Structure formats: structure tokens, C-alpha cells
Amino acid sequence: MRAADISDQITTVLVTEEDIREKLAEIAARVAVDYAGKDLLLVGVLKGAVMVMADFARALPMVVPMDWMAVSSYGSGTKSSGVVQIRKDLDTDIHDKHVLIVEDIIDSGLTLSWLLENFASRGAASVEVFALLRKPEAAKVHVESKYVGFDIPTEFVIGYGLDYDEKYRNLRDVAVLAPHVYS
Ligand code: IMP
Ligand code: MG
């Protein structure tokens, strides 16, 4: 669905499907150069990164395996709990691999800083981050993200994989959820 289909449930469209497509092509071109000749593994963080992984991986002009990790730091609310729990671990041994974590959004940064440390301890050759979205003013810990799609304001957003209570992931655009939906 597009933002227009749920205009009564959102306040602002921050990033459109077209913006995302252009940005993914741009970042894919950079990644192709940066990882030329290297053993790259994409690791997506379920479930939010499903859309960005699907489109980003296909934008890459090279053979690249993907793996998935499921962690939880959010319940059904709109605030980070800071507690990270592994729900599904990697299937791949990342020792000596160049890992690029593909994430939907960096909010507090707690999930990614935990993942970065976890992956480093498994002996990865390198670990970098590609986050489609980032809320710079919401950071509780600093996360070095090599590739960032869009910086957005500190508001609860939905769409393109991002959910509220498991809904809205299939929205093609990224929009601010109207407060009346969750209050
Ligand atoms: P963190 O606060 O950076 O640890 O973010 C943890 C996870 O919460 C992200 O990977 C998202 O899946 C989710 N999240 C953070 N901000 C939002 C939001 O605005 N909408 C929906 N999910 C979010
Ligand atoms: Mg996520």
C-alpha cells in the first residue's frame, strides 16, 4: 500500500518509495566499490530490515550471501527497552567474513551497538552498518554507521518494514504514525 491509502492514520510522509529506490542504488554502488574482492556477508535484522534487505541486495551488482538475525528490543510500544534478546541466531559462521549489517533504523542505537560487539567477538574480519533511517537526536549510544540512507526527526515512523504492533510493514513509504493510533 501507499501512504495515500492510509492518510487517516499518518501525519507526514518522510520518505517515499521513489526516494528509497534512488538512495539504495546510490549506496549499492558505494558498497560494490568498498567491498570489491572481499568476502562480503549481508546480515539483516528481522523483521524490520526485510524490505530494505530485499531491495538493497538486488541493487548490488555482485554475488552476495545473506543471513538473518532476530533480536528484540521493542515490545508492542513505541519506546526502546534497551534490553536486547536473541530470538534467532545467524546460520553462518562469520569468522573472517566482512559483515555488513542491514538495518531499518537507528533509534537509540542500543540494538546495533550490542550487535556490533557481539559480531566482533565472533571474529568477523570487519563489521559495518547500513541503516536506511537514523534518528540522530534519539541516540543514547553512538553507533558508527558507514552507510545511512536518511536522517529523520525523533518521531515514531512506520512503513517499509517498520511496524507499529506488527502493522504497517507493507506500506511502501516511510511515514509518521498519527498519535491517535497509539494513544
Ligand atoms: P534502537 O532504539 O536503535 O535499539 O532500535 C531498535 C529497533 O526498534 C529498530 O531496529 C526498529 O526495528 C525499532 N524502531 C526504532 N524506532 C522505530 C520507529 O520509529 N518505528 C518503528 N520501529 C522502530
Ligand atoms: Mg530493526
Q: What are the tens digits of pLDDT across the range 15-47?
A: 999 999 999 999 999 999 999 999 999 999 999
Kindly state whether residue 165 falls inside one of the protein's structural domains.
Answer: yes
In tens, the pLDDT along 137-148 reads 999 999 999 999
Pocket of ligand 1 contains residue 103 by CB under 6 Å: yes
Q: How far apart are CA 162 and CA 49, in angstroms?
A: 8
Q: Is the dihedral of CA 120, 122, 127, 130 positive or negative?
A: negative
Please say whether the beta carbons of 100 and 128 come within 8 A: yes
Q: Is residue 76 included in any domain, yes or no?
A: no
Instruction: Report how many domains make up the chain.
Output: 1
Q: Any residues with CB less than 8 A from the CB of 65 and at least 6 apart, and which?
A: 41, 42, 92
The CATH number of residue 60's host domain is 3.40.50.2020
Residue nearest to atom 8 of ligand 1 (CA): 74
Q: Is 156 contained in some domain?
A: yes
pTM of the model: 0.94
| Cα 36 to ligand 1 centre (Å) | 31
